[in-house]
Amino acid sequence: RDLCGFLPLQGHVVRNWKVRWFVLLQDKLLYYKIEGGKKEPSPKGRILLDGCTITCPCLEYENRPLLIKLKTKTNTDYFLECCSREERDSWALDITGAIHAGHPVQVQELHKMKNSFKLLENISLHNIVERMYDSSTGIKLTRNLDQGNRYKETFTGSALVDWLISNSFAVSRFEAVTLASMLMDENFIRPVGVRSTEATRSSDLSEKFLDDSTALYMFAESSKKNTSSKEEVHFNISELSGTIVKQGFLVKQGHKRKNWKVRKFVLRADPAFLHYYDPTKEDNKPVGGFSLRGCLVSALEDNGVPAGVKGNVQGNLFKIITKNDIHYYIQASSKAERVQWIEAIKPLT
């Protein structure tokens, strides 16, 4: 089966982000425009994979930590954004497989690499970061100089490796470096200064983070504290504090203009909320959301266009009615995906 799904793509002529429907074939990646909730019949573009290089994880955009970068043989860069780390790794593995299809040895190596990476899954990155922030036992933040620039509240690469080992999060320095790379990947920490920033360009996960006393890092949060908080009025922080249960791209009908748009949906529990984001925007703030308490969720029949749905949108639709009687019409990309979302939402209502 071909891998397919929604991914935001950065245009290489006009540098804006647009959501496209991607289909991975044996030697190319096709992408389609979605109009009125339907995929256009012919592709909007294609990325030829022969001779392509893939960079994943790609940290070129601070606000978009889950990118895959593809550079074609003719030096055109494409940036594709995924919804979660799992989705990104799955796309990256399959695209890499297609690029190396003629070289079976590399494909075997890739699968080996993917399987060996299960080592650390029992460790929660959030837990590590909370411990790092602890004022008495956490990582010590210091002022550091790098090429004449002064940085407050930073720590060195080797200090973090020492800390991870002494707190039993890692056994060896190699394991600690891998763990630190994952923290950077997930945007918990970020490089500051020339040395550490240069290293992130390496394609090898174990070389992205430097176990070095001259490479500087800081918490990604401290760099955002200075931004103005004017726009954060809409969403109460507690709404966004729940555990993420499921996330993914779905097509949603607007309330006012009834047009269909792809949104990134994030389902959280404790408290139970469903928020949706505009994947073409740079800031990671929801454009809408609602409490799931007292909501009704149901699949809509696949024969014909249901009442309340505008445009010729059919198939894989479901509806959520909030306890204030607001109706949300949402389209999944397959029957199976619709079932998964309904099953994930139901217990939280």
Average pLDDT over residues 106-128: 58
Average pLDDT over residues 50-76: 87
Residue 6 dihedral angles phi and psi, to the nearest 5° = -80, 135
Average pLDDT over residues 93-113: 70
The per-residue pLDDT for 229 is: 35
Mean predicted lDDT score pLDDT of the chain: 83
User: Is 268 a residue whose pLDDT tops 90?
Assistant: yes
Exposure class string for 44-56: b at 16+ Cβ within 10 A, else e: eeebebeebebbb
Q: How confident is the model over 155-166, as pLDDT tens digits?
A: 999 999 999 988
The per-residue pLDDT for 23 is: 94
Average pLDDT over residues 232-252: 80
Q: Where residue 228 falls among pLDDT bands split at 50, 70, 90?
A: very low
User: Is 84 a residue whose pLDDT tops 70?
Assistant: yes
Residue with the bigger pLDDT between 171 and 330: it is 330
Average pLDDT over residues 272-277: 94
The per-residue pLDDT for 125 is: 75
Rounded to whole angstroms, the Cα distance separating 196 from 26 reads 37
User: Is 117 a residue whose pLDDT tops 50?
Assistant: no
The per-residue pLDDT for 226 is: 36
DSSP symbol at 348: G
**Are the beta carbons of 67 and 61 closer than 8 angstroms?**
yes
Q: How confident is the model over 305-320, as pLDDT tens digits?
A: 777 888 777 689 999 9
One-letter amino acid identity for 142? Answer: T
Share of the chain above pLDDT 90, in %: 36
Rounded to whole angstroms, the Cα distance separating 101 from 341 reads 33
Residue with the bigger pLDDT between 112 and 278: it is 278
